[in-house]
Amino acid sequence: SQQGEEDPQALSIQEGENATMNCSYKTSINNLQWYRQNSGRGLVHLILIRSNEREKHSGRLRVTLDTSKKSSSLLITASRAADTASYFCATDAYSGAGSYQLTFGKGTKLSVIP
């Protein structure tokens, strides 16, 4: 299975601190994406990093990708209570059925305490 593994499974921090979540995967990928999901809601796409990129920034988000270690990290700087959510990494790879598909990791549940 391509499913990624995130760690930690749960993370609790104080508002203003940085939050780092890690993701590891098993096979070659086309790109890796991070999503946020508030409880009971749909997914929000945060950032996509291609397999030939090593780092990408978007606002308070910083994503790194190390294809040699098959791992990625998501850093949220200066966290806010509104960042409380579950965060998932998803690897994009050729499915062998004629298309690419996203496979999701198990997620990290982030709680930011005001």
Q: Which residues bind another protein (CB under 8 A)?
A: 3, 30-31, 33, 40-43, 45, 48, 50, 88, 92, 95, 97-107, 109
Between CA 37 and CA 96 the distance in angstroms is 28
Q: For the chain, how far is it from start to end, CA to CA, in angstroms?
A: 38
Q: What's the closest the beta carbon of residue 87 comes to another protein, in angstroms?
A: 11
CA 22 to chain centroid = 7
Between CA 92 and CA 103 the distance in angstroms is 7
Of the pair 62, 109, the CB lying nearest another protein is at: 109
Q: What's the closest the beta carbon of residue 76 comes to another protein, in angstroms?
A: 19
Of the pair 43, 77, the CB lying nearest another protein is at: 43
Q: What's the closest the beta carbon of residue 49 comes to another protein, in angstroms?
A: 11
CA 1 to chain centroid = 18
